[in-house]
Structure 1
Amino acid sequence: MHRRRRTALLLSAAIVAAAPLLTACGSETHPGAAAVVGGQKISVSTLESRVNEVRDAQRAAAGDDANYARVVSGTGTLTRQTLHSMVLDQVLHRAAQDAGVTVTRRDVQQLRANVEQQVGGAKALDATWLRQYGIPPQRVDDNLRLQVEAQKLAAKLGTTTDQPAFWKALSKASDELGVDLNPRYGTWDAQKVGLVDAKTPWVREVTVASQQPA
């Protein structure tokens, strides 16, 4: 498998795997905010809009209500996974900026061409990213840009995206930004660069899957 393909799958998988599977309800520490990253608010309405993009794409791909219901039942943590990826995008971008990494449109186009060749075309790419990573077609290029940024950052650091040195850079950027989550979605661990259980009475942890390097 092409190295660029492996990198894209690795980081996308890490985004999903790092999100804890929580059920929650409760008050909001930040009224109207799902998270505050580097002083910038990710509003609940923005998060909900992003989740709706995924649900709309899943419904269109499902073909009928029964299939769509099965898809929804298998992606019950979509809101938290989406928020996690939105925060991680900003953390990665900060780490890339700190390292002097830039990404061009040409970089993204080249990666898209390589991945499309691997999976069998543009439609197959959209379907794969939606099914495996919960990314709707209109967000695929944004995600591919993330993959390029991660790959370039790793190269600048003389490592790979699955090594501690890479995640250490993200941890540093996370700490610099100061990520603050609404407790209904959990809390953010800057060291692990991911969501963790908020440990509040109204949050029940179902299971946590984390495959990131320590």
Structure 2
Amino acid sequence: MHRRTRTRTSLLLSAGLLAAAPLLTACGGEAHPGAAALVDGDRIEVSSLQGQVRDVRNAQAKSPQGDQAISGTGQMGRAKLHSMIFGRVVERAAADAGVTASRKEIQQARDAAVGQAQGADKLEAMLLQRGIAPDQIEQAVRQEILLNKIAVANGANLADPAGQQKVTQILAEASKSLKIDVNPRYGDWDDAKIGLVEHRAPWINQKTKDSEAQAAQDAGAQPAPEPAP
């Protein structure tokens, strides 16, 4: 039996765990019409992604600090896609570890977070600053519980750098097994970093390799000896 894990407000606000994606400019063409990404063959529809973004923006617009929240969350589309994919990775790692999160555990963890934030309204306001709408909190809490259980199941402590590295490696392996393919307009998915990175078209990669090869060749070239007098 795994030890009971407790979701803390500090964890809920963690950019690393709750997928604050690198806010790079999306580029590239439409390689996946209608899909933002493919994860283990399943589509994450652009419409679903847009719905998540809309929920956050609507909630931010209604909040007293709406302008601040909106300006502080940058390119919400990329951030939300990162979050949606990262959630699938956590689910796969949890399945591999044989751990789950019950509704009772989720409710207890959420209640604890509300208590530490000194109220549900304050918790919602804090998470909204991180791009998490009120109706997305339950999923965020579930993800936190699973991350803690994954760590415990693998003998890792998330409060320790070595434990964090171990869990990162576990998530990277889960990510690789899902064969994640992202629509280039949102970037590329890096399994090792477990996150979105800027898309690089194949011709750019080839040009970079050619430039590196030429630089190596130039660096290794020796000047011709001067003729003897």
On whether the aligned pair clears a TM of 0.5, the verdict is yes
Larger-gyration structure (1/2): 2
> What amino acid maps onto 2:190 in structure 1?
D
Give the deviation of 1:102 after TM superposition. 1.0
Give the deviation of 1:135 after TM superposition. 0.5
Scaled by the length of structure 1, the TM-score of the pair is: 0.83
> What amino acid maps onto 2:58 in structure 1?
D
Q: Distance in 2 between matches of 1:57 and 1:160?
A: 34
Gapped regions of structure 1 (runs ≥ 5): 202-214
Gapped regions of structure 2 (runs ≥ 5): 1-5, 203-229
Give the deviation of 1:27 after TM superposition. 1.9
Q: Distance in 2 between matches of 1:170 and 1:30?
A: 25
Match of 1:22 in 2: 24
Match of 2:131 in 1: 134
Find out whether 1:109 has 2:107 as its counterpart.
yes
1:90-135 deviation digits (Å, cap 9, x = unpaired): 000000000101110111111111111110111111111111x211
Q: Percent identity at matched positions?
A: 43
The two structures, once aligned, show a CA RMSD in angstroms of 2.0
Q: Distance in 1 between matches of 2:56 and 2:16?
A: 17
Query: Number of paired residues?
Result: 193
Judging by fraction of residues, say which structure has more strand: 1
Give the deviation of 1:83 after TM superposition. 0.3
Q: Distance in 2 between matches of 1:184 and 1:16?
A: 19
Give the deviation of 1:74 after TM superposition. 2.8
Q: Distance in 2 between matches of 1:196 and 1:25?
A: 11
What SS does structure 2 have at the residue aligned with 1:21? coil
Give the deviation of 1:69 after TM superposition. 4.3
Scaled by the length of structure 2, the TM-score of the pair is: 0.78
Select the structure with the greater relative contact order (CA < 8 A; seq sep ≥ 6): 1
- Within 5 Å, give how 1:81-120 maps onto structure 2: 81-120=79-118
